[in-house]
A and B are shown apart, each in its own frame.
Chain A
Amino acid sequence: MAAAAVPPAPSPAADATTGGEQQLGQVTVEGTRLKATRSAQKIVDWLKRLVGPFRYEGSVELGGEGASRQALPVSGVADCTAFGRASGVSCTMMVTWPEVHGENGAQVPGGVSTLAPAIIQYGLDPDHIGIRYLQVDNKGLANYGQGYLVGDTLTTTTPCVGIEGECRRITTIDAHPDGNTTEMRIDIEQDFVRTVRFSFVLHRLSPGQFRRGGGTSR
């Protein structure tokens, strides 16, 4: 059993009863510690959940702590195909959100989608019984990761690409067992402060729905 104390956090329930004035001082979470899977077959089964056409929705949350936050609605599609006997996966995506620029048109991290298009490849790392992936966006920038599968979730932490200074990119991919929904969250942390959160929910489409939505195939 694992127990963890987390910092005070606003709770919707507390906000509803106290007008948002009161915060919980401590939350104790109990649960079973999950171990990374050591089964290559489970990883292959998880990778298979990523295969197919998907519709993207979700939000991109701009602004660091203390700054005004702005949530931008996400829309798009992806087409993911299996590759090779061990279920490597290649996804071509076309994902956008409303553009946001800083003062005088300055670039804001996450302010403009670079995922229209982008390609991401996933594969089984047989030496470490883990998963490796590489995403290349429409600027040519390569975001990569390697990690282990815990339950249905892959989490990786890597240096940011294309952002100077102390910056890390924390990616969480939760592919539901039914294969119909995958949740992806990508946090960009600069100097240990989150500056962007990409929250994507991928809904499986039928091939007919995908064609009507406009594919991005080769």
Chain B
Amino acid sequence: MLGARVALADPHGIAGPPEPETAEQKQAHRVQMASDMAAWLPRIVGRFRYEGMVDFNTEPADPGGAASDPPPDPLKMKSARGLGDCIRIGTGPGVQCVLNVTWPEEWDPHGQPVEGGDQFLKPALVLYGLDPNAAVLRYLQLDAGGLVQDGPAPLQGDTVSWTYTTTCVQSGNGVQPSCRRTTRIYAPAGGKTVQTSIEIDKWDQGNARWVKVAAYMLDMHRVPPVPAK
């Protein structure tokens, strides 16, 4: 794939920086990416049953802590279930999905849902299309609150991913920290299962680092179409 083009290995380890792409190479790259993206999108078309786990890391950030996030604690994980229905837009590769995924809500001691603890995918509406000029997919998601997140969603291999940074839903002590949601959708060719993961990180101003506050690991199992009566 042209998208994964790398400089040839230099046996002596003295290779210079890769030469910049020519206009023709850039155009060929865009054409190849548009083709790859158009081939990827139909893989998420259909009806899916969602099954998975949600992990809320409600522990306060360790002030002197390491930069890595703590491993998930199986005892704290909650199950998530739901349905998704994705349709093609006409005969093109564009896709619109309606999701309805639920999990037990997670609340803090003050009676407020923790970041990501509310059921923001109950329901959600996601639209996907091609931006061949930028060689990316574009998405726009409306969550259960009707709030929007959108942007470019590059395809790498069989995975489309995006990160959306916004003000956290839950503010702390009057400040409005930033939160980022990273979504990855892995849809291999011919697969019966599509895997989606969402991670929510919160900016820890005191330690100047992102702290993972929630993670969702969702398997989407393709459901056979219901025969018409």
**A residues whose Cβ falls under 8 Å from a Cβ of B:** 82-88, 90, 116-119, 121-127, 132-144, 146, 159-164, 218
CB distance from B126 to the nearest CB of A (A): 9
Tell whether B33 is near chain A: CB-to-CB under 8 Å. no
Q: A84-B142, A124-B147 are in contact. Are A136 and B132 (CB under 8 A)?
A: no
Of the four ranges (under 10, 10 to 19, 20 to 34, 35 or more), the interface on chain B belongs to 20 to 34
- Map CB proximity to A onto B71-112 as digits: 1 under 8 Å, 0 otherwise: 000000000000000010111111110000000000000000
A121 partner, pick from B123, B127, B132, B167, beta carbons under 8 A: B127
19 of the cross-chain contacts (CB-CB < 8 Å) are A86-B145, A86-B146, A86-B147, A88-B148, A117-B89, A119-B96, A121-B96, A121-B140, A121-B142, A124-B147, A125-B148, A136-B94, A137-B89, A141-B94, A141-B130, A143-B129, A159-B133, A161-B130, A163-B133
Is the beta-carbon distance between B91 and A123 smaller than 8 angstroms? no
**A134/B146 contact (C-beta < 8 A), A126-B167, A141-B129 known:** no
Interchain CB contact under 8 A, B89 and A164? no
The docked-state distance in angstroms from the alpha carbon of A85 to that of B90 is 28
Q: A84-B142, A139-B130 given. 14 additional CB < 8 A pairs?
A: A84-B145, A85-B145, A86-B147, A88-B125, A121-B125, A123-B146, A125-B148, A132-B140, A134-B139, A140-B41, A141-B94, A146-B150, A159-B133, A161-B132
- Asked if B131 is at the interface of the complex by the 8 Å CB criterion, the answer is yes
| Residue contact A137 to B138, C-beta cutoff 8 Å | no
CA distance A121 to B92 in the complex (A): 17
CB-CB under 8 A from B51, the residues of chain A are none
Distance between Cα atoms of A195 and B150 in the complex (Å) = 28
Chain B residues with a Cβ under 8 A of chain A: 38, 41, 87, 89-96, 123, 125, 127-133, 137-140, 142-148, 150, 166-167
- The verdict on A133 contacting B89 (CB below 8 Å), with A121-B127, A123-B146 known, is no
Given that A84-B145, A85-B145, A127-B167 are known contacts, is A134 also in contact with B89, CB under 8 Å in the complex?
no
A134 with B140, Cβ < 8 A, contacts A127-B166, A140-B92, A218-B87 known = yes
Complex CA distance for A127 and B139, rounded to whole angstroms: 18
Max count, chain A CB within 10 A of own CB: residue among B128, B129, B131, B133: B129
List of B residues within 8 angstroms of A121 by Cβ: 96, 125, 127, 140, 142, 148
For the residues of A in contact with B, the DSSP-based class is strand
A138 touches B91 (CB 8 A): yes
Tell me whether chain B's interface is mostly helix, strand or loop, or mixed.
strand
Contact A144 B94 (CB under 8 A): no
Q: How far is the CA of A90 from the CA of B143 in the complex (A)?
A: 12
Q: From residue B95, how far is it (CB to closest CB) to chain A in Å?
A: 8
Q: Is the CB of B129 within 8 A of A142?
A: yes
Contact present for A138 and B148 (CB under 8 Å): no
Which residues of A sit under 8 angstroms from B140, Cβ to Cβ? 121, 123, 132-134, 144
Question: Which residues on the A side are within 8 Å of B127 (C-beta)?
Answer: 90, 119, 121, 134, 136
Tell me which residues across on chain B come within 8 A of A138, comparing CB atoms: 89-92, 94
Q: A127-B166, A134-B127, A134-B138 are in contact. Are A85 and B146 (CB under 8 A)?
A: yes
- Complex Cα gap A150–B87 (Å): 34
- Chain B residues positioned under 8 Å from A136 (CB to CB): 89, 92, 94-96, 127-129
Contact of A142 among B91, B94, B145 (CB under 8 A): B94
| Contact in complex: B94, A140 (CB < 8 Å) | yes
Chain B positions within 8 Å of A85 at CB level: 144-146
* Whole-angstrom distance between the Cβ of A63 and the nearest chain B Cβ: 23
In the complex, are the beta carbons of A142 and B146 less than 8 A apart?
Answer: no
